[in-house]
Amino acid sequence: MALVPCASYEPAVVAAAIDEALGRLDGVAAFAAAGQRALLKINLLGPRGADEAVTTHPEVVLALAAALRRGGVESVVGDSPGVGDFDHAAAVAGLRDLYARTGAGLVDFRRARRVRVPDALRVDHFEVYERLGAFDLLVDVPKLKSHAFQVMTCAVKNLFGLIPGRRKEAFHRLLPDPGTFGEMLIDLYRVTRPGLCVVDAVEVPLAERPGARGGKRRLGLVGVADDAVAADAVLAEIVGIGAANVPALRAAVRVGVPGADPRAVEIVGGLPAGVGFVAGAAVAPACGVPECDDALCTACATCAEVCPVDAIEMVDGRPRFDQATCIRCYCCEEFCEGRA
């Protein structure tokens, strides 16, 4: 894995950081040959602007697609947003001119095909984006964030978006425990296995306690790795969450997935100066029933729309939570447009 300082989202700064990180791992040619095609799976949570720091920043996507193109690799960028229209979400996220700037196309993961999971931990099959197998390289391009349900969302959790549309909701209903959900994510990782991960860790939303609304913190890093589990394990340590506190990484350790132990991951070039393993985020899943913050609520009703068990009803312009039905997945919080 390579970790490179990236002081801002200025295009030249991001491009230089990604080029340096790729270079430390022997460049684009180490991952794909000229003439091949890559699918860049970004985090396009919904129609959220780049300054909110909840989606992969457009400059990271643009710089990566440009770097691949210089290596002769054609790119397609895609995701399946959890809420809202794909085209609108991509435009709000700043990806409208992606093709003009890099020659990379945009694709919405709408249709699915079934893939089986050999020796599954939790789930024996998934329905993933139907054309996933048409690409020579899957590139995982996540946004590093804390997460109320899975403690941290980064490269492994980002693969959940390969499951199109509202098919994802079924996994929250079937696996309401963070541990079993984490096992499912490792099953998904094992059958999709991205060949390259490029992590946007420049501005990082970190909550100081489970389920809290946190602002964004400037970590100032771009990470590049050939393994999603290794990327998550190292970054979990850097932000003070700890790999052992992330349910998916615990599952990876149990089944002996390489890279799950951050002590065994080589950081090519070492840690950048000034970056240490410092505390700053919650280290356990949230456990209470979500509550509405009237000061932030915009009455958008997104929380009710995304709830996989219909535990939220809008009453007088505010969400009302059914405590008996709520499964504490915190999709409502993750997709809430009023999030601080």
Residue 337, pLDDT score = 61
Strands (E), 35-164: 37-42, 74-79, 105-108, 112-116, 125-129, 137-141, 145-147, 151-153
Compute the radius of gyration of the chain from its Cα atoms: 19
Q: Compute φ and ψ for 324, nearest 5 degrees.
A: -75, -30
DSSP β-ladder status, 137-141 and 37-42: parallel
* Low-confidence stretches of the chain (pLDDT beneath 50): 339-340
How many angstroms separate the CA atoms of 278 and 264, rounded?
19
Least Cα distance to 194 among 236, 164, 241, 230 occurs for 230
Taking a C-beta distance cutoff of 8 angstroms, is the pair 63, 149 a contact?
A: no
Number of neighbouring beta carbons within 10 Å of residue 275? 14
Residue 210, pLDDT score = 59
Whose tokens are 């913050």? That residue is 293
Sign of the Cα pseudo-torsion (154, 155, 160, 161, in order) = positive
Residue partners of 37: CB distance under 8 A and separation at least 6: 73, 74, 75, 76, 134, 135, 136, 137
Residue 293, pLDDT score = 85
Residue partners of 82: CB distance under 8 A and separation at least 6: 45, 46, 161, 168, 306, 331, 334, 335
DSSP β-ladder status, 74-79 and 105-108: parallel
Whose tokens are 């909550």? That residue is 207
Alpha-helical (H) ranges within the chain are 11-24, 58-70, 86-92, 98-102, 155-158, 169-174, 178-192, 228-238, 247-254, 302-306, 331-335
Q: Which residues pair with 216 in a beta bridge?
A: 205
pTM for the model: 0.94
Residue 280, pLDDT score = 63
Residue 213, pLDDT score = 60
**Rounded (10°) CA dihedral 319, 320, 323, 326:** -30
Cβ neighbourhood burial of 267 (10 Å; 0-12, 13-18, 19+): middle
Q: Which two tokens stand for residue 272?
A: 């950048």
How many angstroms separate the CA atoms of 179 and 174, rounded?
12
How many angstroms separate the CA atoms of 230 and 257, rounded?
9
Residues found in the chain: 340
How many angstroms separate the CA atoms of 330 and 307, rounded?
8
Residue 281, pLDDT score = 78
